[in-house]
Amino acid sequence: NVAGQFALIPGLTIPSDQPSKGEIASTVSDALRQGCIGLKMLGGYHPFSPETTSQIVREANAQGAYIAFHIGSKDSGSHLGGLREVPGIVEKGRMHVCHVNSYCRGVVKDPVDECQEAINIMKTLKGQINTEVYHAVANGTNGACDKSGNVIANVPRNCLAARGYEPTIDGMREAIKDGYASVIAVKSGAISYVDGKEALEIYNKSKTMVGMSFPVNLPASAYHLTTAKYESGDFVVDAVSTDGGSHPRNVAIQSTMALVKFGALSPSDMANKLSWTPSRMLGLLGKGHFSEGADADITIIDPNSGKPTMSFVDGLPIMIDGKVVGKGGKMLVTAAAEKTMSDSGVPFEIIDLSMSKLYKGF
């Protein structure tokens, strides 16, 4: 099952970083019609002003589109400062706040204090936002520099600054040489982290336009955010995610199982974080529970190793003993894309986001 979000990149997927209301509306409707379930604002890479960001949220809400936000605006950055803007951006609307742990890396103040402030912000927005954290230490970003040799995006600039490197092409090269920065590349048919001399060669040959990774995510922040609860016992952060399992950091099951063994979470908490609540976040009512009539989407976990051993989708095996055996797939789309998908010949299923946690009571 695959659901897509339309990435908002000024000049490429949306006319500019100051789009009109009409341009925003048409961008949202076009994304839904093409088969996306919604949109994602990439504030750490392609930020809008807080005002434009808020306009995009309002229009997505009006059209019932899923709207996700990698925090950051032209007035802030991809850190706690950007998270502080969220209440003013979302107002009375609904929004998914992506990978909250990414904003608790100690950029603004002590990471423990950042976590607590992030939790307090999320508490004020209970019922309005979907949230998740990921547990991998490695992040995913890029090394792109402009013609003057300056690192373009806020995320890699923060990563370099965290270890005292200049946010320039030379600073990036030094970080690669020192083993702090890795290049994400395909090796032997698999996506891998490449270090050292080989990584530097790839970076230079690609003229900086390559995926990068830094070990910047703090396990303590991930733990704090994952386990935080309201007095009612509900979790403040909804789910554990991967933030991109395409490169080798898809450790959501293993890390959450480790928290169960540690005693920080119960087995039911784990199922809540990895399955039940994520299914509610998207309104996938046939998933997330092991009961008669539910979709037979099942993952079996070895309780000793904490690793997944088998996985099924619609009752058919897709992974056995760590080996992928499944073929094909199914797109999850909104009703706006029914004709597009019917014409494409690609298997699809229409989902109703009005039934999602995001839009509950909206």
Written as one letter, the residue type at 331 is M
How many angstroms separate the CA atoms of 69 and 82, rounded? 11
**What integer is the mean pLDDT of 31-38?**
99
The reply to whether 41 and 173 lie within a common domain is no
- DSSP per residue over 105-159, as a string? SSSSS-HHHHHHHHHHHHHHTTTTEEEEEE--S---EE--B-TTSBB-SHHHHHH
- Structure confidence at residue 334 as a pLDDT band (50, 70, 90): very high
How many angstroms separate the CA atoms of 358 and 346, rounded? 27
Kindly report the backbone phi and psi dihedral angles of residue 27, in degrees, each rounded to the nearest multiple of 5, phi listed first.
-65, -45
How many angstroms separate the CA atoms of 317 and 67, rounded? 32
The reply to whether 196 and 282 lie within a common domain is no
Q: What is the pLDDT of residue 245?
A: 73
Whether the per-residue pLDDT at 244 is higher than 90: the answer is no
**In the block, which residue shows the tokens 């920065």?**
181
**What integer is the mean pLDDT of 179-201?**
95
145 in a structural domain = yes
The reply to whether 14 and 97 lie within a common domain is yes
CB atoms under 10 Å from CB of 26, counted, come to 15
**Single residue among 188, 213, 238 that ends a domain in this structure:** 213
The reply to whether 274 and 339 lie within a common domain is yes
How many angstroms separate the CA atoms of 216 and 134, rounded? 12
Whether the per-residue pLDDT at 285 is higher than 80: the answer is yes
- Structure confidence at residue 38 as a pLDDT band (50, 70, 90): very high
The pLDDT > 90 percentage for the chain reads: 96
308 in a structural domain = no
Question: Hey, CA dihedral for 316, 276, 240, 43, is it positive or negative?
Answer: positive
Kindly report the backbone phi and psi dihedral angles of residue 118, in degrees, each rounded to the nearest multiple of 5, phi listed first.
-60, -45
Q: What is the count of structural domains for the chain? A: 2
The reply to whether 200 and 224 lie within a common domain is no
The residues that bridge with 198 in the sheet, in sequence order, are none
Q: What is the pLDDT of residue 342?
A: 98
**What integer is the mean pLDDT of 288-306?**
94
353 DSSP 8-state letter: G
Residue ranges making up the domain that contains 55 = 2-134+219-286+334-343
pLDDT in tens, 105-130: 999 999 999 999 999 999 999 999 99
The reply to whether 124 and 244 lie within a common domain is yes
160 in a structural domain = yes
45 in a structural domain = yes
CATH code for position 253: 3.20.20.140
320 in a structural domain = no
Q: What is the pLDDT of residue 178?
A: 98
When the pLDDT of each residue in the chain is averaged and rounded to a whole number, the result is 97
- Structure confidence at residue 17 as a pLDDT band (50, 70, 90): very high
362 in a structural domain = no
Whether the per-residue pLDDT at 347 is higher than 90: the answer is yes
**Single residue among 213, 238, 255 that ends a domain in this structure:** 213
Q: What is the pLDDT of residue 44?
A: 96
Residue 132: exposed, middle, or buried by beta-carbon count in 10 A (0-12, 13-18, 19+)?
buried
CB half-sphere exposure, 333, CA atoms < 13 A? 23
**What integer is the mean pLDDT of 29-41?**
99
The reply to whether 248 and 121 lie within a common domain is yes
328 in a structural domain = no
Please answer whether residues 255 and 162 qualify as being in contact, where contact means their C-beta atoms are separated by less than 8 angstroms.
no
Distances (CA, A) of 168 to 141, 165, 171, 331: 15, 8, 5, 40
The reply to whether 51 and 88 lie within a common domain is yes
Q: Helix, strand or coil for residue 41?
A: strand
Q: What is the pLDDT of residue 4?
A: 97
Q: What is the pLDDT of residue 246?
A: 82
302 in a structural domain = no
The reply to whether 57 and 206 lie within a common domain is no
Q: What is the pLDDT of residue 101?
A: 98
pLDDT in tens, 215-239: 999 999 999 999 999 999 999 999 9
The reply to whether 113 and 155 lie within a common domain is no
Kindly report the backbone phi and psi dihedral angles of residue 278, in degrees, each rounded to the nearest multiple of 5, phi listed first.
-55, -35
CB atoms under 10 Å from CB of 282, counted, come to 23
The reply to whether 178 and 207 lie within a common domain is yes
The reply to whether 158 and 257 lie within a common domain is no
